[in-house]
């Protein structure tokens, strides 16, 4: 390792230490970090509640016939294929819908 690279690493480490210590002692940075944390937690809780309401709503109508008919018994749609082939089949259908085919 050349002397130049060594000095760059030392300077980088020193600058990093100074920045981290100053930010750790900064009340403004601490309050911004706390606000960000609380906002993320609030959004996470809202998303969780929304997902639960969607799942509860889907579970309530699980025994009912789906609109649009289908190939299954009583007009029920068949569940999608699983695995990689199912993924690519669904992906192809979505792309076809988006492109307008």
SS3 sequence, 8-70?
Answer: HHHHHHHHHHHHHHHHHCCHHHHHHHHHHHHHHHHHHHHHHHHHHHHHHHHHHCCCCCCCCCC
Is 33 domain-assigned? Answer: yes
Residue 28 inside a domain? The answer is yes
pLDDT of residue 81: 74
Verdict on whether the full-model pTM lies above 0.85 = no
pLDDT over 90 percentage in the chain:
38
Q: How many domains does the chain have?
A: 1
pLDDT digits (tens, 9 = 90+) for 7-19: 999 999 999 999 9
Q: Would 34 be classed as within a structural domain?
A: yes
What is the mean pLDDT of the segment spanning 26-42? 94
pLDDT tens-digit profile of 39-62? 999 999 999 998 888 878 766 655
Residue 9 lies in a domain: yes
Task: Identify whether 43 is part of a domain.
Answer: yes
C-beta separation of 88 from 96 below 8 A? no
- Asked whether residue 86 is domain-assigned, the answer is no
Within-domain flag for 88: no
**Containing domain of residue 34, as a range?**
1-62
**For residue 26, is it left (φ>0), alpha (ψ between -120 and 50) or beta?**
beta
The residues, ordered by sequence, that sit 6+ positions from 86 with a Cβ below 8 Å of its Cβ are: 80
Q: How confident is the model at residue 85 (pLDDT cuts 50, 70, 90)?
A: confident
Residue 8, pLDDT score: 93
Tell the residue number behind the tokens 């085919």, with chain if given: 101
Of 100 and 70, more confident: 100
pLDDT of residue 54: 82
In a domain, 79, yes or no: no
């Amino acid at each position: 390792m050349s002397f130049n690279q060594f000095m760059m690493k030392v300077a980088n480490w020193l600058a990093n230490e100074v920045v981290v210590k100053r930010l750790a002692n900064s009340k403004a940075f601490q309050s911004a970090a706390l606000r960000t944390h609380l906002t993320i937690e609030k959004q996470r809780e809202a998303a969780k509640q929304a997902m639960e309401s969607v799942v509860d709503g889907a579970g309530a109508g699980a025994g009912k016939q789906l609109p649009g008919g289908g190939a299954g018994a009583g007009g029920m749609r068949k569940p999608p294929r699983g695995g990689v082939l199912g993924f690519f089949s669904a992906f192809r259908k979505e792309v076809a819908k988006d492109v307008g085919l």
